[in-house]
Each structure stands twice: as C-alpha cells, then as structure tokens.
Structure 1
Amino acid sequence: MTRLVLASKSAARAAMLRQAGLAVDLTPADIDERALDEALAREGRDPAAIARALGEAKALAVSRAHPEAVVIGADQTLALGPRRFSKPVDLQAARANLLALRGRTHHLHSGVALARGGTILFSAVASAAMTMRPFSDAFLDAYLAGAGERLLSSVGCYQLEAEGIQLFERIEGDYFTILGMPLLPLLAALRTLGIAAT
C-alpha cells in the first residue's frame, strides 16, 4: 500500500483527506513560503499560478525526504483585484484585512500537487469568488473576540466551516477549494495513479 503524506500541518486539510477515507501522515514542508510567494509574484505570476506553484514546492520538498511516499502539497492565495493578502501576524492585522474585504468580492485560489521521489505527478488549481456582506464594526469586533487567534492560520481571516460563514452574502466555488484544497481533482488523480479505490 502506498504511503500518503500531507506536506502540511493544516488540521483542516488533514481532516478533509481523512474524512474522504484516506490514511495520511503529516510532515510540514521546510520551505520559506512567504519568500517563495514574493519571488513568484515578482516574476509576474498571477495569484492562481502562485497557489499551484506553492503546492508543488511543498510536495517536492517533502517527497525528496520521503521518496517512497506520494506527497500531497497544497496552498492558497487570496486576491482582491490586484492586491494580494498574506496570513495576518496578529488580530489587529486580521481586523484590517477583514475591513478591506468587507462588502467586496475577493478570489481565493487553492493549489494542490502530488509528488514522489522529487517528481511532480499531478498539480491543479481551483478558485472561488467570495463576496463578504457589509457587516458592522460591532459584528466584526465580536467575531474577532470569539474566533481569536485561530483566525491567524487562515489567509482570509475566516473559517467558513465555523462562524466565519456569517461574514458572507455570496460564494461561488467549490467548498473544498475554500477550505484549502481542490479535493475532487486530487481524488481523481489518486484514482488514476492507483492510490485510491476506483
């Protein structure tokens, strides 16, 4: 049986894979994501291409250390028009990000890749259009107080599977893409490779 490794410490991505019936080990990739993200942006890559490239970089890094395994790498980018967002460093930064997104439509891009022995076997990217409602400052303050530091693990400062859903008025895109990984294309690739049941 092929060993599957997720090149991440993301609880949401691990749960998604396990709930789909996959046994997966977690081994975070030792790469400087922010530096790579910025380098790719300077090359002129768009946010969707950056998400895909980050997923590939994570998968490659871990697959070199575990060449016998099939490694899943995934990452997300968030863009509001030409402005790209990063994970907030603190709750004040999270508040500023949510104020910038309030009442507007942003795009969330999730990239995923499979690698074995330092070679990419598959990669894909999917996107979702996310429209936040014009929530009040009081709602925002209560949301930040309730959700707290867990928001710092999300580039969008929201957790759609929890109370973050209340920030939105419209969402166009796949639920799994929003949670951090385009799961259906990934499962199809695993079936094609003979790793998941057909």
Structure 2
Amino acid sequence: MLASASATRRLMLENAGLEVHAEAAAVDEEEVKHSCKAAGMKVEEVAEALAELKAQKIARRYPGTYVIGADQMLECGGAWFDKPVGRDGARDQLRRLSGKTHRLVSAAVVFHNGARVWHTTDHATLTMRPLGEDFLERYLDAVGEKAHGSVGGYQLEGLGAQLFTNVTGDFFTILGLPLLPLLGFLRGRGVVLA
C-alpha cells in the first residue's frame, strides 16, 4: 500500500513489479513543515517525519499490510521549496534556483501492523544552469501543468533535463522515492520475490 497520491511514486513501484494500491494520506504538510522549521529540524528529518505521518495514518486502516509513506524536500541556500502553485509560482521557483546548486532529499518509511518497521533517507545534488527569461517562458509553455506537479517545478525525466549542468545522486531519489533500498527491505520481508 502506498500512502501517497503521487502518480510518479506509484509508477516507480509498479514498474519495479509491485502491485500497488495507493491512497492519499490527509496530512497538513504546511503545518508540519512550519513546526519542524521552528524546531530547527534539518530537511532530512522533515522529509522522514512527513513520510512517517503519511504511512502511519494509512496503516491504521490496513492492519497486516505493508504501508509505504514517502516525502521529498528541496533545499537551496537554506530555503525550503514546495510544489509551486500555478505558472507564476513555477516561474518564481525556477528563477530562484537558476544558476544554483540545490539538494533534493527523499525519505521512505514503512509501517506494518501499526509499527514503523523500516526507513531510509537519501539525497541528490543538482546544479541548475542560469536560465534566460525567453528560455524560461518557452520551457513553461512546453511543460504546462507538469511544472506544478513536483517540488522545484521540473521533472528531470523529461524536458527538465534541459535545466541542469550537473546531477549527482540516485535517479529514483530525485523522482521522490529511494526505491532500491525500499525494494531490498521488501525482498527481505518476502513482499517482493528475491
């Protein structure tokens, strides 16, 4: 069970051979992030806390099921970024990331029978090239609403690759789920064939 409405995470798991049932966990992410920031937590801790809350909430309804919660945070120069709201929000975020290096932190937490049984956190470092205004508008025209679907306003697996000069880290982590360690855990539990 995936405690997420993310089509990308669901597709990653399905492409890896898992039968996935997904259900969004109603978590007030904005409030959690605000509280975590006030407490001085690092982005890794926040991503893990959000993933845990999501998994825990859905796990209550599905005893005996392995429930995966996941979350991703983007940090650039000490600032945290969320999914942009609308084209103007995507444009603003891409301008702020233009010419800079940022980190994407992805966390996954698994609950089973009401208990947290596993977690992992990974990060990737991405350097965005300086973006001109004309390019930025053409890019936003081409990707449309997809620019609002991910933190940072890009999808590296598509036209978003045009935005970067360097990427270091696991591709699945960039997409929002540390998939390989998760699959290793699930194989160890017999959920996925070894």
Q: For 2:155, which of 152, 159, 174 is the aligned residue?
A: 159
Matching residue within 122, 140, 143 for 2:139: 143
Matches within 5 A, 1:1-198: 5-198=1-194
Deviation string 1:99-149 (CA, Å, 9 cap, x unpaired) is 010011000000101112321110111000000011211111001111112
Partner secondary structure for residue 60 of structure 2: helix
Once the 2 structures are TM-superposed, how far is the Cα of residue 38 of structure 1 from its aligned partner? 1.5
- Kindly provide the CA deviation profile for residues 58-98 of structure 1, in whole angstroms up to 9, marking residues without a partner as x: 11110011112110110100000211111111110110110
2 CA distance for matches of 1:9 and 1:140? 28
**8 Å contact kept, 2:101–2:126:** yes
Asked if the contact 1:112/1:125 (under 8 Å) is kept, the reply is yes
**3-state SS of the aligned residue for 1:6?**
coil
> Structure 2: which 5+ residue stretches go unaligned?
none
Alignment: residue pair count: 194
Give the TM-score, by structure 1 length.
0.95
CA RMSD of aligned residues (A): 0.9
Q: Secondary structure at the match of 1:171?
A: strand
CA contact (8 A) 2:95 2:131 kept: no
Instruction: Detail structure 1 runs of 4+ shifted over 6 Å in the superposition.
Output: none
Instruction: Provide the rounded CA distance (Å) in 1 between the counterparts of 2:33 and 2:63.
Output: 25
Query: Unpaired runs of 5+ in structure 1?
Result: none
Deviation track 1:12-66 (CA, whole Å, cap 9, x = no partner) reads 1011000100111011111111111211121111111111111111111100111
Normalising by the residue count of structure 2, what TM-score does the alignment of the two structures yield? 0.97
Q: Identity of aligned pairs, percent?
A: 43
